[in-house]
């Protein structure tokens, strides 16, 4: 287990309500820090509505953009302009319109040398350590204010797949993943469970009937990466009604 906190499950009506609830969590977490803020984003389809919402006047005006640093929890080793590129999706949805370019921290994927996921992982780990100011994580001083997460159909989160060695990594902050367990089958770079756990809040977004089967397995306690990903402080799962198993509905 990456960290020992219990998760809190918050049911919401639908994907629109989920995005709004997630946006309010982002704003609340930002408001608690008057200094430099670090947010670790996630890729995939789940957070896109959240990202678009953050760019609207209602939320954009409530974010101190000059004080927020934006990182990414995992990346697919594809060119930056590829639609599969996680950080580029976030940039197109809100970052390029709202955030200073100097506050964006993508995982490098655009040179031939970085097609090696281990080299790309090492570079990003160095960047995280430089930002944090230390080579060891201190539980009393989280790396991130907020980590956004999703759940894959096999129970993976970030690019930590069931049964892969990366799930068991405890020393490194970032690892290369030579091959994914699900589509797209491209090499990845992923933060490890200890690095992801170093946050004041870990926020999962889980939506759609297609996630109900894996959510049933997770809520039954199956030993999958998404169950092992826990903040050292607060872990929240936002789940819409379509994804929520019948036994957990109110």
How far apart are alpha carbons 104 and 95 in whole angstroms? Answer: 8
**Residue 60 confidence (pLDDT) above 90:** yes
How far apart are alpha carbons 108 and 127 in whole angstroms? Answer: 11
Confidence class of residue 5 from pLDDT cuts 50, 70 and 90? low
What mean pLDDT is predicted for residues 88-100?
96
The predicted structure's pLDDT at residue 114: 54
Confidence class of residue 26 from pLDDT cuts 50, 70 and 90? very high
Which positions ≥6 away from 34 have C-beta within 8 Å? none
The SS3 assignment for 217 reads helix
What Cα–Cα distance (Å) separates residue 139 from each residue in 4, 112, 157, 197, 203? 12, 36, 22, 9, 18
What mean pLDDT is predicted for residues 154-177?
95
pLDDT digits (tens, 9 = 90+) for 113-144: 556 899 999 999 999 999 999 999 999 999 99
More confident: 180 or 207: 207
What mean pLDDT is predicted for residues 34-55?
94
């Amino acid at each position: 287990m990456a960290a020992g906190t219990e998760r809190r499950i918050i049911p919401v009506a639908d994907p629109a309500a989920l995005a709004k609830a997630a946006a309010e969590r982002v704003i609340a977490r930002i408001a608690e820090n008057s200094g430099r803020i670090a947010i670790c984003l996630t890729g995939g389809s789940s957070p896109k509505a959240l990202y678009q919402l953050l760019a609207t006047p209602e939320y954009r005006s409530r974010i101190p953009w000059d004080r927020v640093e934006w990182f990414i929890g995992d990346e697919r080793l594809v060119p930056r302009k590829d639609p599969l590129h996680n950080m580029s999706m976030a940039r197109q949805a809100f970052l390029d319109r709202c955030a200073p370019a100097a506050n964006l921290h993508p995982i490098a994927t655009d040179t031939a040398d970085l097609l090696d996921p281990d080299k790309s992982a090492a570079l990003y780990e160095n960047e995280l350590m430089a930002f944090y100011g230390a080579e060891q994580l201190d539980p009393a001083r989280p790396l991130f204010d907020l980590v956004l997460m999703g759940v894959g159909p096999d129970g993976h989160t970030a690019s930590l797949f069931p049964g892969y060695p990366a799930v068991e990594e405890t020393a490194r902050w970032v690892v290369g993943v030579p091959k994914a367990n699900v589509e797209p089958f491209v090499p990845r770079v992923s933060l490890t469970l200890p690095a992801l756990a170093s946050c004041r809040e870990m926020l999962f977004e889980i939506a759609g009937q297609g996630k109900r089967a894996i959510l049933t397995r997770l809520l039954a306690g199956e030993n999958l990466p998404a169950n092992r990903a826990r903040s050292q402080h607060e872990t929240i799962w936002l789940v819409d009604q379509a994804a929520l198993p019948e036994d957990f509905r109110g």
